[in-house]
Amino acid sequence: MNPAWIHAGAMRSEANNFPGRDEVNPQASRECAADLWNQAGITNPREEIDVAEIYVPFSWYEPMWLESLGFCERGTDGSW
């Protein structure tokens, strides 16, 4: 069995009551992903990551996270 190594960690949050907040595509998720990949030395997450366990509390979160984390291009999550 091969070990799984964690090379980085990052966390962001946004104010829930900010009137200009985009709940479908929050800026914090994109910033967090960019920081995470930078720490780990990853330039293309789709090509360089074999497995990702993503917390998805609601069905509409999954496409948002796939896009924000760079596993698919923005607006293409449905076909990926």
Q: How far apart are CA 74 and CA 24, in angstroms?
A: 12
Q: pLDDT tens digits for 32-71?
A: 999 999 999 999 998 998 888 888 888 878 888 888 888 8
Of 24 and 32, the one with more pLDDT:
32
What residues does each domain of the chain span?
A: 27-79
Residue 22 has a pLDDT of 65
Q: How far apart are CA 59 and CA 66, in angstroms?
A: 12
Looking at residue 36, what DSSP letter applies?
H
